[in-house]
Structure 1
Amino acid sequence: MVMLSKMQFNIQYEDALELPAGELVNVFDRLTFIRIIEIVDDTPVLLFNAIFLKGFSLKHLKEIPSLEVQDVLHQDGSEILFSARMSGPIAKLIVSQKDAWPIAPIIIEKKQLVLSMQGTPSGLSTFRKKVISLLGSRFKLTVNRSYQGEWLTAPSMSPRRKQVLETAINMGYYDHPRQCKQQDIAMRLERKQGTIAEHLLLAEGNILKAWFEQSRISE
């Protein structure tokens, strides 16, 4: 079973401006990626929801060379829902791999670009190297803490083992100092202490392996 990981790239104002579609940071107060509509000739058509900065409008958006507005689905004052074909290198890069793909949040806000990706550890590692070759090291990379330990399927983590692990955590077994013993967990769950010990050992092994695989994406 394949574990998926997530990472975020934070590209600051000065570096974002150097990108072909970088002028977006001067057009929108906030721009949010919703989904990929289609990919044509390795170039994605993306759906966005956005809020124009004061004094800016659709006219300014159409002046950005690497962005071709396809459709305006809704506009109310400064807020707009639109699709656009993005031909810049970052846009092409995010759809170039089968083992890494863009996810929300991808936003422009507070004069910076936040790009989020999901994929296999090896896929994200490859994607990171491609970003470095394109931008150098002029970005901040974070493996968001809320993502750590999150995967679609925890290998061999049965419902019963998960219950034992959650009970151990809730009872303070992993606190320092420990608030309970394995025997206490066994009494709570009405199981044998040996069974509890085995479940915890295997669960800890799964988590450590998953953490190690996920940590490789930032190497």
Structure 2
Amino acid sequence: MELGLLILLVIFATNVVSWIGKSVLVELAFAAYQPFFLRPSYTKQRALKKEILANKAELNATSSQDQFAKWAKLRRKLDKGLADLEKLNGSLSSHRSRFTSLFSTLLYVFTSGLQLVLCWYYRRQPVFWLPYGWTPNAVSWLLSFGGGPKGSISVTAWSFICKRVISTFEDLVKEWIPEVMTMFSKASPAASASAKSDSKAEPKLTAPVPASASTTSEKKPVPIEDDVIEVD
């Protein structure tokens, strides 16, 4: 049982590496590696870039005709800084290449390589024993293929079963995710539409008119040439 679980975990880890992508894992590992082992180099790189920008700005502000000595000194200093920066960048790039190669090798050793070693080392050891007479002879031979005892599930057959189950699960998840996203996308417009209809159905409240305002709007007689005309 422990051997079967170990093989299942190794195969699952191999598939997880394939799902995430080796390049993504290398980037994450190198980002975690930098602060501990390359901090001085990156600090020096930032200082060189800052110094180069300052020297370049000062060089642009210096006249090569009126202040030739100062201009030549700044130019030599700028060229030296650029050369040092290029050398440092090459060193960091080479270090990153070595790290990528080493990390990729470790990924292979602890996933596919470990899987091959387990299948070879435990090739004659059964993972599970099947009940006697539970399967036909042809099926028993297939399940014990790879050197396992007859009537058992060999390491080779168990590895194949685990791969097929994980691959089927991956296909189901890939089919299920778009359906869930479609359901959510259809549900959100309906919810917004119902919210709008509820807001429209709410009665509008009108403020009561004060009594003073109503009295001022009453009709009053205005005398014009001995006649009384009511005006609104």
Q: TM-score, normalised by structure 2?
A: 0.20
Bigger strand share: 1
Name the structure, 1 or 2, with higher relative contact order (CA <8 Å, separation 6+): 1
Q: TM-score, normalised by structure 1?
A: 0.21
Q: Which has the larger radius of gyration?
A: 2
Bigger helix share: 2
